[in-house]
Amino acid sequence: MVACEFSGIVREAFKAKGHDAWSCDLLPTEILGQHIQGDVLNILNDGWDLMIAHPPCTYLAVSGLHWNTRVPGRPQKTEEALLFVKKLMDAPINRIAVENPVSCISTRIRKPDQIIQPWFFGEDASKKTCLWLQNLPSLKDTNRLYEKTRRGNQTPSGQNKLGPALDRWKERSRTYLGIANAMADQWGGD
């Protein structure tokens, strides 16, 4: 089960390997397939053998926590987001991976087991991504690109090229295909 995934990218990577893979999100899926539109907390007890969770990072990511002192109500949203992550991590599922950018999960719940970059998996992109793993091995690089100062998705100053927009969060939340394929290859099993 791929929790909090509307794109279908990770789900489809597992499906391509022959797995009965499902995604679940409050949003409809962008790629038609086995998708449950709704709250993932309602299906955590449905006998899944693996969950890869992508909880929304809006109120968790270090890059946005400065807003907690500027916007009324925002600290409470961070607490709610942390509780959601904790529920995902505590789900009755044997193998769990929780994915998020550098965030307060690291200081408020626990440090990540691994930090990856899309360029470890053949993608010319920079997006530091933390993985909190339960009964899963760390992902092995599959096609590490050479190190360089800037990647294809970055401006000359190193920021993400996507400018302000209402759907910026949606574009930034998609998992890179190289990472999705590595997850399916390395965590999918037989």
> Using the 8-state DSSP alphabet, how is residue 176 labeled?
P
Residue 27 has pLDDT above 60, yes or no: yes
**Mean pLDDT score, 155-175:** 61
Total number of domains constituting the chain: 1
pTM of the predicted structure, to 2 decimals: 0.88
On whether residue 151 sits in a domain, the answer given is yes
Q: Which of residues 88 and 170 earns the better pLDDT score?
A: 88
Query: 34 in a domain, yes or no?
Result: no
* pLDDT at residue 156, as a whole number: 55
Does residue 135 lie within any of the structural domains? Answer: yes
Range of the domain at 110: 53-183
Confidence of residue 189 (pLDDT cuts 50, 70, 90): confident
Q: Is the pLDDT of residue 154 over 60?
A: no
Reported as a pLDDT band with limits 50, 70 and 90, residue 180 is very high
What is the C-alpha to C-alpha distance for residues 161 and 126, in angstroms, rounded to an integer? 11
Four-residue CA torsion sign, 28, 29, 32, 36: negative
86-102 CB burial, b ≥16 within 10 A, e <16: eebbebebeebbbbbbb
Which of 46-60, 69-83, 134-148, 149-163 is least confident?
149-163
| Structural domain includes residue 12 | no
Residue 9 covered by a domain: no
User: pLDDT over 90 for what percent of the chain?
Assistant: 67
Q: Is the pLDDT of residue 42 over 60?
A: yes
Q: Is residue 89 part of a domain?
A: yes
Residue 125, SS3?
coil
**How much is the mean pLDDT over the chain?**
89
Q: Which of 49-58, 87-96, 102-111, 172-181 has the lowest mean pLDDT?
A: 172-181
% of the chain with per-residue pLDDT over 70: 86
